[in-house]
Amino acid sequence: MLFEQIAANKRKTVFIVLGFFIFVMLVGCAIGILVYNNYLNGLIMAAVIGAIYIAIMIFSSSRVVMAMNRAQEITSKDQEPVLWDTVESMAMVAGVPMPKVYIVEDDSPNAFATGISPEKGAVAVTRGLLNKLERYELEGVIAHEVAHIRNYDIRLSTIAIALVAVVAILSDLAMRMLFWGSITGGNNNRKSNDNNNGGAQAIIYIIALVFVILAPIIATAIQFALSRNREYLADATAIELTRNPQGLADALRKIGGDTTKMKQPSAASESIYFTTPSKGEKKKKEKAGLFDSHPPISSRIERLEHM
C-alpha cells in the first residue's frame, strides 16, 4: 500500500504538471488569436514570458520565504537540541544533506520546508509545534517536510506559482491590448477577416476570449490540485522514512484539533505549510474543494491508517 500510493501520486503529479504546461501554452494560443489573429505569436510570447518568470522564481533565495514568515535560523544544536536532532536524523534516513533549521515564534502548530534542491533545503517549525507535539509526532512532521525536500516538491511548487503568475500576466496583457486596440482601431483588420470568414471565425474569437478571461481561475485550481497531491505524496514518503504511520497521524489529529490561529500567516506561502495556516472550517471538510491548497486532515489520516 505504501509504495503503491507513492507511485500513484508520482504518476498523478506528472500528468498534472504536463497538463499545466499545456494549459499555459493554450492560453498563449488564445491570446495570439485574439490580439494577433495568429496563434503562433501568442504561443511564442507565452513560452518566453513563462521561461523568464520561472527562472527568476527558481533562482530567488529561500531567504525571501523565511523573511516573509518571520523565521529565525537555528545555527547550532545547543539552541534547540530536540528539533536539531530530529531534522538531522530524518535527513540522514532520507539521504539528503542536513537542511537549515528555522523557528517561527508563533503558538499555532505548523511547519514548512523551502529550497529548490536538497542541497539548498531548509525546514521551519513554529514554536507551537515544538511545545504541543510529542517527540514521535514531531518526527512524523519533520519527516513530511524532509520528504518535500527529497521529492523536489519546493521546486515544483515554485514552478506552479510562477505558471499561475504567468497566466495572470498574459490574461491581463491580452485584456489591455484588446482594450487599446478597440480605442485606436487596431482591430479593423480582424473585423474585416471576421466578415470574410463568416461565423466560424467569430465563434473561435468568442471561445478564445472566454478562455483568456477564465484562465487565471483555472490556473489557480490546477496549482492547488498539484499542491494537494504533493501533500499526499509527502505523507506517504514520511512513513517510508519513519516506518511509523501513527506518529504522523497523531500529529495531524492534534494539529487539526488545535484552534490557535497564526498571528500573521503569509498568504503567498500558504500552500507550503504542513497544514493550512488559517484555522477554521477548511479543516473540517471531508472533501477538498477546487481552491483548497491542502487535502482535508481527515482524508490524510484515513490514508495513513491504511498503510
For the annotated catalytic residues, the residue numbers are: 145
- CB 43, CB 28: distance < 8 Å: yes
Distance CA 146, CA 55 (A): 24
Give me the helix-helix angle, 199-242 and 2-31, nearest 10°: 150
What is the edge-to-edge ordering of all strands in the sheet holding 71-74? 71-74, 100-104, 122-126, 111-114
CA angle in degrees (0–180, nearest 5) for 94-97-102 = 100
Distance CA 209, CA 192 (A): 18
**Rg, Å, the chain Cα set:** 22
- CB 157, CB 226: distance < 8 Å: yes
Cell representation of residue 173: 496583457
Annotated binding site for Zn(2+): 144, 148, 231
- CB 183, CB 130: distance < 8 Å: no
